[in-house]
Every structure is written in C-alpha cells, then in structure tokens.
C-alpha cells in the first residue's frame, strides 16, 4: 500500500473513532441530561420545603420499568418526573420524601445511619394500603435495612455530607401491595413518609444528589440504568443566591 493510501486509511479510521465518540456522548450522555424540567423552590421565613417521592416504576414512554424519583411543584402540587430542583442558598431546607417503592436491603448497611441532617435524625411514618398508620412520627437516627426490610432507596448529597436512608413499606406490603401506577398517590397504596432538614450551603452552585441503593434492576450489580441517569435515581440540587 502506498504511503498516501495508508494515510487515507488512517484518517478514515481516525474519523470513525471520533464519530463514534461524538455519537456516544450525544446519544447516551446528552440524551439523559436534556429536556428535564427544573422545579424551583422558594423560601418563606428562611425555610424552603422540598417534596419528593420514589416509585417502583414511572410514567415515561422510554423507561417505564425503571425506579424513579418525582419532584413536586411548589405551587401546583403536580408531580414532575425530574430530579432537578433549586433552593436558595443559606436556607433551612425541609425535605419530605414519600417512599412507595418496596424494600431492598442496603448493600452497605453503613447507609442505614442518618448523616448530615439537622439533629442527625429523620422523622418517619408508615401507612398500609388502607391508610392505616402502623408507624407514627418516629424520630430516629437509624433505619436499619438489615434487621427489617424497610429501606427503598437513599437520598444523599455527598458534597454536603447528607446521607439519608429512605423508608419503604414493610416487607409484606412490599411483596404484595405496592403502587403500580406513577406518580403514586397516598390513597390505596402503602407508603412511608420521611421528613428531615439540612442547611443549604452559603455557596451557590450545583450539588449532585444520588441514591446509594444499587437499584438498577437488570444492570450489572444494579449500578447502571436509573442509578446513573438524571431524572431517575440521580439528580442535581441547584443552590441559588438568595
Ligand atoms: Cu435507588
């Protein structure tokens, strides 16, 4: 082969590799990060209320079987299929999470320990599908996912040291009666409600949040799919200057 022909082959091969890289970035990374709405929360009296739910499934056309978080719009109370929200800086953030998905023992039970919340605790209530409250407003610093099956996912903002196990319905309710249509409603479904607070940082910026239960069913070690995709088990909290 002549030098020119070899050079041509090399250039074509190089462009092929570049093209594949661009395609991968746009198709897999770009597609997952575009088109997601951001729910903006505004404070009153120095506090802001963030409301989330996590479900065994979701109402998307593309990935209906993936576990997912939803974020509640502050004004309309509509559930938005997104994990992007914003809060003002240096503000007390009160988080409420409705846990509809069933229990999965944490792979590392260290994350049963509540960390980084005000008081180092969460407040927990659990309801069966008839609305009967079987755990009432319990303040706790641990939700031990290995002694009882009662954790569905986690909510963690590693950069802020916030690690919160998110409660699920108990083992029997998880096996038999879970919500099967998203976004889930409190009537007719078993669920847990958990509340906790933390201070948003003084520094404006984007803070990644993440579930630490390897809940990507059907993926290697459960660590891909929804676990690695914004809008499902991974999100961003934008902290905006107030
Ligand atoms: Cu999860």
Can you give the pLDDT at residue 95? 98
Query: pTM (2 decimals)?
Result: 0.86
- The rounded Å distance from CA 71 to ligand 1 centre is 15
**Rounded Cα–Cα distance for residues 198 and 210 (Å):** 16
Lowest mean pLDDT among 27-31, 139-143, 158-162: 27-31
Give percent of the chain above pLDDT 90.
81
Can you give the pLDDT at residue 208? 97
pLDDT over threshold 60, residue 236: yes
For residue 186, count other CB atoms closer than 10 A to its CB: 14
- The rounded Å distance from CA 155 to ligand 1 centre is 8
- Per-residue pLDDT of 165-188, as tens digits, reads 999 999 999 999 999 999 999 999
Contact in structure between 164 and 122 (CB atoms under 8 Å): yes
Domain chopping of the chain, boundaries? 1-34, 38-240
- DSSP three-state, residue 68: strand
Can you give the pLDDT at residue 221? 84
- DSSP three-state, residue 236: strand
- The rounded Å distance from CA 68 to ligand 1 centre is 8
- The rounded Å distance from CA 211 to ligand 1 centre is 5
Contact in structure between 39 and 84 (CB atoms under 8 Å): yes
**Rounded Cα–Cα distance for residues 123 and 197 (Å):** 10
- Per-residue pLDDT of 111-159, as tens digits, reads 999 999 999 999 999 999 999 999 999 999 999 999 999 999 999 999 9
**Fold of the domain built from segment(s) 38-240:** Immunoglobulin-like (2.60.40)
């Amino acid at each position: 082969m002549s030098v020119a022909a070899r050079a041509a082959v090399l250039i074509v091969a190089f462009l092929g590799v570049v093209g594949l890289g661009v395609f991968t970035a746009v198709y897999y990374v770009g597609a997952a990060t575009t088109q997601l709405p951001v729910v903006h929360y505004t404070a009153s009296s120095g506090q802001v209320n963030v409301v989330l739910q996590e479900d065994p499934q979701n109402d998307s056309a593309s990935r209906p079987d993936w576990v997912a978080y939803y974020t509640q719009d502050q004004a309309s109370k509509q559930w938005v299929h997104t994990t992007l929200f914003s809060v003002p800086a240096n503000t007390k953030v009160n988080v409420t999470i409705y846990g509809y998905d069933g229990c999965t023992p944490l792979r590392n039970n260290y994350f049963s320990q509540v960390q980084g919340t005000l008081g180092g605790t969460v407040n927990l209530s659990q309801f069966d599908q008839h609305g009967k409250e079987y755990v009432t407003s319990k303040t706790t610093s641990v939700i031990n996912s290995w002694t009882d099956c009662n954790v569905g996912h986690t909510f963690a903002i590693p950069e802020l040291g916030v690690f919160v196990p998110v409660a699920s319905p108990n083992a029997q309710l998880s096996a038999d009666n879970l919500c099967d249509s998203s976004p889930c409603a409190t009537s007719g479904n078993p669920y847990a409600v958990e509340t906790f607070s933390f201070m948003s940082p003084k520094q404006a910026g984007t803070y990644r949040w993440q579930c630490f239960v390897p809940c990507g069913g059907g993926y290697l070690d459960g660590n891909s799919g929804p676990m690695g995709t914004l809008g499902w088990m991974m999100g961003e909290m934008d902290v905006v200057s107030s």
